[in-house]
Amino acid sequence: MNVLVVGSGGREHSIVKKLGESNQVSNIYVAPGNGGMAAEATCVNIRETEIKELVTFAKETQIAWTIVGPEVPLMDGIVDAFQLAGLRIFGPTEKAAMIEGSKDFSKAFMARHDIPTANYATFTDCDEAKAYIKANGAPIVIKADGLAAGKGVVVATTVEQAFEAVESMLLANKFGGAGNRVVIEAFLEGKEFTLMAFVNGENVYPLLPARDHKRAYDNDEGPNTGGMGAYAPVPDLDQSIITYAKEHILHKAAEGMVLEGRPFTGILYAGLIETASGPKVIEFNARLGDPETQVVLPLLENDLIQVIEDVMCGKDPELSWKEGYAIGTVVASKGYPESYAKLVPLPVFEENDESYVVHAGTKVERDSTYRSIGGRVLLVGSVQPTIEQAHQSVYTFLKQFEQTNDFFFRRDIGK
């Protein structure tokens, strides 16, 4: 069959790699893709937000399945448009994608369905937000209500930092319309982890738990980013915590979406934190996480397209996982997540049997050299019997990037 992947980042490259293992897939197309995907799929010059053009392409190319990677086209109604055209697509409708598209909606939804999360309040007025911060003190968490590419969250350790965050969103328009409303949450203590699941209505099939590192620098210091690396599974996570999260968070969320007339189909992502009173939700996303996908999919033994077909038919895909661990470390452009140079040539690197490379923000030149076009440029990953071996393989590979000042990476992913 012909399969179309929508998106251009590392998550989508990981999906392409996984689809390449299937004997059911004859041709993989990716729109728009990136330079690193070109050897494994046919890149199509259609942006992920050009929904009409994507529908036309899918019809003309006889695409059997379309898989949507990023959140923006989901919120723009790509699933609705494909379904209206009689095309098979894997992802939530625009109404269901609101669980990620609005932090305010998501928090109110969790309150309605008794899903554990931090106490919160929502504001559009800066003075009212500041009064709430002053009354509650710091640390405190400030979130832009809408989509902000993973950068719309500030964990303020002082009241002054919290004031700056709400001013930047509500007054300075740092995130455009996404920051016209802010959600202010209580700060939760504990270890974070991610639990994603294939969902179709009330049917929920969880993936392996993963943990990503959001802060830019070692020891979880620096600004929040879209993710600087991840590992899976999570060795210090007790099975009872995972079981509780499946039953009281993932299943409750899926059932709640059905009850509210916006049933969810696709990948439901729960960003969770293990607190002293049990796991709680930090955020829901309506798609595979990035960079968690880059370490979870390499551990999946099943044929991805068969999993999707089973889930969409209401059949248990019976997910099976490789023994061992996967670690992935992001190589980012110097200056990320703030301003950074583009079209910087990457050092020449050689892949090996111990590691894999997932491209996120690259373009390829005619002479086969790569240049950076994004903040997160690529991810180096490895699957090994132990987490220590995976860590060693990744960082042995990354020695090839130590001679340049144009890029940086964390050295403690998986530690």
HSE value, Cβ hemisphere, 13 Å, CA-based, for 205: 19
Q: How many angstroms separate the CA atoms of 369 and 349, rounded?
A: 10
List of domains in the chain: 2-93 (3.40.50.20), 119-186 (3.30.1490.20), 191-312 (3.30.470.20), 325-408 (3.90.600.10)
Question: What's the pLDDT score for residue 224?
Answer: 83
Each residue's pLDDT expressed in tens, for the chain with a length of 415 residues: 999 999 999 999 999 999 999 999 999 999 999 999 998 999 999 999 999 999 999 999 999 999 999 999 999 999 999 999 999 999 999 999 999 999 999 999 999 999 999 999 999 999 999 999 999 999 999 999 988 876 788 899 999 999 999 999 999 888 888 889 999 999 999 999 999 999 999 999 999 999 999 999 999 999 888 899 999 999 999 999 999 999 999 999 999 999 999 999 999 999 999 999 999 999 999 999 999 999 999 999 999 999 999 999 999 999 999 999 999 999 999 999 999 999 999 998 888 889 999 999 999 998 889 999 999 999 999 999 999 999 999 999 999 898 888 999 999 999 8
Which tens digits make up the pLDDT trace of 245-295?
A: 999 999 999 999 999 999 999 999 999 999 999 999 999 999 999 999 999
Q: Which residue from 296, 266, 300, 258 is spatially nearest to 284, judged by alpha carbons?
A: 266
- Residue 156: other Cβ atoms inside 10 A: 20
Question: What's the pLDDT score for residue 179?
Answer: 86
User: Phi/psi of residue 280, each to 5°?
Assistant: -130, 155
Which tens digits make up the pLDDT trace of 361-393?
A: 999 998 889 999 999 999 999 999 999 999 999
Residue 100 in tokens = 């990620």
The model's pTM is 0.95
User: Which of 251-257's residues contact partners 24+ apart within 8 Å by CB, and which partners?
Assistant: 251/202, 251/204, 252/113, 252/114, 252/115, 253/99, 253/109, 253/110, 253/113, 253/115, 253/284, 254/199, 254/201, 254/202, 254/203, 254/204, 255/113, 255/202, 256/109, 256/112, 256/113, 256/115, 257/96, 257/99
